[in-house]
Amino acid sequence: MSAPTLGRRGFLKGVLGAAAGASLAACAPGGGTSAAPSKLAAPSASASAKGTITIWNRSGDLFKVFDAAIAKFRAAYPGVTVNHQAVDIDAKLANTLISGTDVPDGSFWDDAKIGSQAEHLYDLTDLIAPHRDKVAPYKLSVNTVGGKIFGVPWDLDPGLLWYREDILQDTGVDPAAIATYDDLLSAARTVQEKNPRTKPIHLDKNPFLGQLWLEMMANQQGTSLTDAQGKLRLDSPEYRRVLGWVREVVKGGLATHAPYLEPADINTLDGGQQVFVPWAIWWSFAPQQLLKATKGKWRAMPLPAWTPGGARSGAMGGSSFVIPAKAKNPELAWLLYEFLCFTEPGCTAVYGPNSVYPGGLSTSVPAWTPALAADKPLFKPLEALGGQDLWKVAVEAAATIPAAAPIPWWWAQSVDYLGDNTQRLIEGKMTPDDVIADSAKKIQRNLIDRS
């Protein structure tokens, strides 16, 4: 099986929720609205449906994947014409929704952006209702604002622990024994004792990605930066637990502090310095496309738990689909998204082997739980992981991801405080209490109180 080629710039913009545009700053926290959003009625799921819809997606390989999947939709609904457009969504969608001019009938969008624009989107609560017990709780929760659902959940990005199988074998570390983050510290110390040149655990040097990673660790413990009402909850045992663990990694000399998949990171990964990378499923791109000397030597397992018996994964990033309140044919857009997200042919068309990804799309898994059968993989085992069945590992981890709260509109702006302070912690310039106190004060004063 040939490894898939991935347009990382386009893909990462989707899964990371790139920095929010200036237009979002005027919106209320958690998607507070000035007008009641429109509720979309259920259309008839009939093959006789007719009309034309304009659908926006990001450019790159994912656009090609969705284009091929939309062809399957056209076969099911031959009367529906889909004008599928590649658009710079981060630059264009928010302003288009606010202006109400030339809006698409549907669009791909980051989970982190949806809450901020709820007043300009259709309320999809009634349409999602027949499917909600078959959607990952996390994806429902981040698409819910004020008890209403505004996004059609698409992908789920479970956190995993990536590790060098050969180094663990050489140092006598059993990955199955890494059940908690304390176990991971012990394993890293053992690796370093037997191979002093290693700095086994990856800590990212990018403030945005570092904060996204921190949120994955918080989600794993059932919390997030704010609650459902937009109240800040950074000052909590859960965040202290993560930041305290980071301090222990740093104090023990166990950290490789490198920017995500830039040359310094790749060199230390391929050179055997890094051994453990706790990161989202989309890190699978690294051994498939970037790592040369260690391709085939990496494996994945669920994240360790923060407490014995705790959740073994958290979500890191994610995207969904939205239907603008001023769409011309919103009912037909819903038929498309229902097909892609909540049917077996649709999920298979997106995630299964295709001309773009011969082995299938292996950088996330569907949010629709009927598609997450461990024994019915949508993508194939990866040669770059020594033939490991990543699908089985990912869906088992995904099943443990706790629900969350809507992502506040100012999340990306808070990186200037929490993301930067987390870097200062890694650099030894702040303590966990310093990070929490300073970040909470500035987020409350500069983002929440000014909204």
The one-letter code for the residue type at 267 is N
pLDDT tens profile 237-286: 999 999 999 999 999 999 999 999 999 999 999 999 999 999 999 999 99
Name the pLDDT band for 355 (thresholds 50, 70, 90).
confident
One CATH from 3.30.70.3000, 3.40.50.11030, 3.20.20.70, 3.40.190.10 for 8-157+317-380: 3.40.190.10
Specify the range with the lowest mean pLDDT, choosing from 19-28, 129-138, 387-396: 19-28
Name the pLDDT band for 152 (thresholds 50, 70, 90).
very high
| % of the chain beyond a pLDDT of 90 | 80
Helix (H) or strand (E) holding 393: helix 390-398
- Residues 6 or more apart whose Cβ sits within 8 Å of residue 52: 80, 81, 82, 83, 329, 332
- Residues 6 or more apart whose Cβ sits within 8 Å of residue 104: 54, 55, 56, 85, 87, 96, 324, 327
**Does the 159-315+405-448 domain belong in CATH 1.10.490.10?**
no
pLDDT tens profile 359-390: 999 999 999 999 999 999 999 999 999 999 99
pLDDT at 42: 60
What CA–CA distance (Å, rounded) separates 91 from 445? Answer: 27
pLDDT tens profile 129-142: 999 999 999 999 99
Q: How close are the terminal C-alpha atoms of the chain, in Å?
A: 51
What CA–CA distance (Å, rounded) separates 94 from 116? Answer: 9
Are the beta carbons of 20 and 50 closer than 8 angstroms?
no
pLDDT at 115: 80
What CA–CA distance (Å, rounded) separates 426 from 206? Answer: 11
Are the beta carbons of 120 and 31 closer than 8 angstroms?
no
- Could you give the count of Cα atoms lying within 13 Å of 310 in the half-sphere of its Cβ? 19
- Going 394 to 313 to 131 to 84, the CA torsion angle's sign is negative
The answer, yes or no, to whether residue 353 has pLDDT greater than 90, is yes
Residue position matching structure tokens 């264009």: 92
Cβ burial, residue 240 (10 Å; 0-12/13-18/19+): middle
Residue position matching structure tokens 């819903």: 334
Phi, psi of 389 (to 5 degrees): -85, 85
What CA–CA distance (Å, rounded) separates 242 from 209? Answer: 15
pLDDT tens profile 164-173: 999 999 999 9
Between 448 and 2, whose confidence is greater?
448
Q: In 3-state terms, what secondary structure has residue 82?
A: strand
pLDDT tens profile 42-60: 665 566 789 999 999 998 8
Neighbours of 186 (CB within 10 A): 14
Q: What is the CA radius of gyration of the chain?
A: 21
Nearest Cα neighbor of 273 from 289, 256, 287, 292 is: 256
Would the CATH topology of 8-157+317-380 be identical to that of 159-315+405-448? Answer: yes
Neighbours of 229 (CB within 10 A): 10
Neighbours of 34 (CB within 10 A): 7
Q: In 3-state terms, what secondary structure has residue 196?
A: coil
Name the pLDDT band for 298 (thresholds 50, 70, 90).
very high
* Chain CA centroid to CA 433, Å: 27
The answer, yes or no, to whether residue 19 has pLDDT greater than 80, is no
What CA–CA distance (Å, rounded) separates 377 from 178? Answer: 26
Extents of the domains making up the chain: 8-157+317-380, 159-315+405-448
Average pLDDT over residues 116-137: 93
pTM (two decimals): 0.88
pLDDT tens profile 89-112: 989 999 999 999 999 999 999 888
Instruction: Enter the DSSP assignment of 189.
Output: H
